[in-house]
Structure 1
Amino acid sequence: MSRQTSANMAPVSGGEATRRLLPFAVMVFLGYLTVGLPLAVLPVHVHDRLGFGPAIVGWVMASQSIATLLTRHFGGVVTDTRGSRPAVLIGMLLCSLAALIYGASVWAGCPPEIALLLLFVGRAVLGLGESLLITGALSWCIGTVGARYTGRAMVWVGIAMFGAIGGGAPLGSELLKRDGFGAMALAAAVLPLLACLLMKGIEPIPPHHGRRLGFFKVVGLIWPYGASLALSTIGFGSMFAFLGLDYAAHHWTGAPLGLMSFGASYVAARLIFGGLPDQLGGRRVARVTIPLQVAGLVILWLAPLPAIALAGCSVLGAGYSLTFPALGVEAVRHVPPQNRGAAMGAYVAFVDIGLGLAGPLAGMVAGHVGYPPVFLLGACASAVAFIFVLRLPAP
């Protein structure tokens, strides 16, 4: 039996599947820190240092998701035709380049307008890099552990992603405070390169052969699950874009702790309950997790104290944690293996749609009625997502 064939044999137990997924989780964590480090830093940098208003902050934060959305098709095609490993490698290098572009906006001493333009360029490059990185990593993980453990693969990739967000946000804020925006950008540029070194020890898998469906045919097969995911993502995106400014408007401290609280509860929920989507089915799990998201966002909207806002972040993180793999398990069942990369690209694109809508919509709400109603907007979107899930067809 060849080494490659052996690597692709489905694991016989959940424990073996987890063992195979851990190196992927570390790799994605390091690469995705390029997304996590600037999350709490960029809104403050654009608003306080460059002097732009909430609407511009919203567009800066949304621009990465828009770029990722526009390139998910490309990421799926590269993954399905060239293989998961090349897609991940190119994605990592682009993430590093994006961080260097961030740094150039301050290292070159640019005026605010040019610095803002460079930030938009960096966000666009990061969007393409994230598209290749996450689409390739998800397909690589599922190919390594087999379709039986699709949910577990999504759980561990998600743990890495949101661990990087939850840990990266306060780390980025600390780097900004101590050494400035350029230091944060330099750290974000180096970490994906470390992930590339780790990638050498992970066995590649060959692309699947066979007739492939068109990308938009794949979208048509999974759109009910993707639409639910997009709506449930609006609240998460609104929180990350405006939590720091909401804390500042209330004269509270500790906004990075809110992001860390979200990330910690997100990771904890996946570690404890990560097997449920595979065991119980995604629809049943999503019917519990999406109402938790609504509850967390309502708590944030009404919070009179920072400790209560912190609790809202935790509840939101626990709810959003399993929504992604729950709906993803259902989506992947509807496509053949040779379209797995396209399916992952299309499915994750709905996260981009949700985040792309969250920034501008929340920015408009914040500009007219203040920051707390931003979280009410997210709660309403999640409530609509719950209605969608209730109407999903039985498997």
Structure 2
Amino acid sequence: MTRLLMACAAACFLSLGLLIPTIPKYVTGPLGQGPGLVGGCLAITAGCAVLFRPLAGRLADRRGRRAAACTGAALLAITSFAVLMAESLPLFLACRAVAGAGEALTYVGLAAAASDHDRPGAAINRFSVAVNAGLLAGPALAEAGHSVAGLRAAWALSGAVALVAFVACLFLPAGPAAVGDPAGTRKTGPLVHRAGLRPGLAYWASVWGYTAFSAFLPLHVAALGGSGSGPHFLVYGCVLLAVRLGGQRWANRIDPRRTATAALLVTAAGLALLVAWPSVTGALVAAAVIGAGQALGLPAFLTMAVTGLPAAQRGSAVATTTAFFDLGFMTAALALGAVVQSSGLAYGFAVAGCVPALAPLLFLSLSRKARKTSPQGGSHDHSRG
């Protein structure tokens, strides 16, 4: 089941990754719009993803993981193919809005399926590896496709990959909430699950670090006289995948709160390096450090959210936690853009680093409760699913 789940996740997010360089070129090329609309297009997709995540969690819990994942993959395929006929800007924006809903449904359905594993920490870690592999491979394949067959080929390939993902998702298990309960009468979680709020806020803080790195690193490297930020993003991606692959063995052995705390502090340290070591080499080291921090974060946040919950509520908890990614990206982009505009890149990186550096304070009350309830000050076993 885990291999099938990873294949589904890799295919879905390869479909999305193919569009990372394609959307800006399509908006400023065939649609004839300015670069400002690129940000608006991305905001529409992210906004719809935020709105649909709670509904995706409810669907995953009531109708099963397969239903949510299949619906999301189908929407991704339909919207990519529809762009081939979208000659007008309103139709294109409508397609991107629906794609946001598709991304939310796919991610929540597949992440909830990973949480049903008997070792959820390790399964969620493997799921995140597949997600990032797809997102990292997509842009390179898209650029190759652009040079050979043009932008339309990238949209067609994205739709075809999403269609393959849809077929693969049909073979996933229905999910615990749907087995023997076709009417969805089991008690499911609320649209916004309390268990996902604290790890979600930590994820939000982590995303501030990622946003500062991904949005402003190219400007930082150019200001330092570098020839481009491509090697930096390559280092970031390789370290992220290496840490997640290497972390599969101990994902279920370490308290996810400790891993989450380490992830936040390592991300903050990487941003501090960008300020303290203003050179192309320093930026490379910072990229590796930030990649390690981001690799540790998401599996820990999701494991925290679902640990101890019944299966019929995990989709809701996953949806609540992951909604903070889109909220973090939007708030960080707006706030850091204003800081960089008024005070410069160094201040932007410094502000972004303060957010994940302070976020471990979210876990202090949890640590105190654990010490109070643990006999003789011992620790709980957090490896249970």
Distance 1:305 1:44 in 2: 30
State which of 339, 342, 362 in structure 1 corresponds to 2:313. Answer: 339
Structure 1 range deviating more: 68-77 or 362-371: 362-371
Q: Which runs of 4+ in 1 moved over 6 A?
A: none
Q: Contact 1:170–1:260 (CA<8 Å) still a contact in 2? A: no
The one-character-per-residue Cα deviations of 1:179-235 (angstroms, maximum 9, x if unpaired) are 44333322222211122233344443342563234223x2x2331221111111122
- 2:113 maps to what in 1? 140
Q: Contact 2:221–2:283 (CA<8 Å) still a contact in 1? A: no
Distance 2:342 2:148 in 1: 34
Offset of residue 348 of structure 1: 1.3
- 1:169 maps to what in 2? 139
Q: Contact 2:222–2:228 (CA<8 Å) still a contact in 1? A: no
- 2:81 maps to what in 1? 100
- 2:3 maps to what in 1? 22
2:148 aligned with 1:181: no
Q: Contact 1:84–1:139 (CA<8 Å) still a contact in 2? A: yes
Q: Contact 1:101–1:121 (CA<8 Å) still a contact in 2? A: no
2:175 aligned with 1:194: no
Distance 1:34 1:25 in 2: 14
Q: Contact 2:196–2:318 (CA<8 Å) still a contact in 1? A: no
Distance 1:366 1:50 in 2: 25
2:197 aligned with 1:214: no
Distance 1:68 1:271 in 2: 28
Is the alpha carbon distance of 1:98 and 1:294 closer, same or farther for their aligned partners in structure 2, counting shifts above 3 Å?
A: farther
Structure 2: state its 5+ residue gaps: 371-385
State which of 253, 262, 266 in structure 2 corresponds to 1:288. Answer: 262
CA RMSD, 1 decimal:
2.9
Taking the TM superposition and a 5 Å limit, the aligned residue runs for 1:73-88 are 73-88=54-69
TM-score after normalising by structure 2: 0.82
Q: Contact 1:365–1:373 (CA<8 Å) still a contact in 2? A: yes
TM-score after normalising by structure 1: 0.80
Offset of residue 133 of structure 1: 0.5
Distance 1:355 1:286 in 2: 19
Is the alpha carbon distance of 1:36 and 1:310 closer, same or farther for their aligned partners in structure 2, counting shifts above 3 Å?
A: farther
- Indicate the percent of aligned positions where both proteins have the same amino acid: 25
Letter in 2 for 1:388: L
Q: Contact 2:306–2:317 (CA<8 Å) still a contact in 1? A: yes
Query: Matched residue pairs, number?
Result: 361
Is the alpha carbon distance of 1:224 and 1:142 closer, same or farther for their aligned partners in structure 2, counting shifts above 3 Å?
A: closer
Is the alpha carbon distance of 1:76 and 1:255 closer, same or farther for their aligned partners in structure 2, counting shifts above 3 Å?
A: same
Structure 1: state its 5+ residue gaps: 1-19
Distance 1:248 1:173 in 2: 22
- 1:382 maps to what in 2? 356
Q: Whose helix proportion is higher, 1 or 2?
A: 1
**Counterpart of 1:279 in 2: which secondary structure?**
coil
- 2:12 maps to what in 1? 31
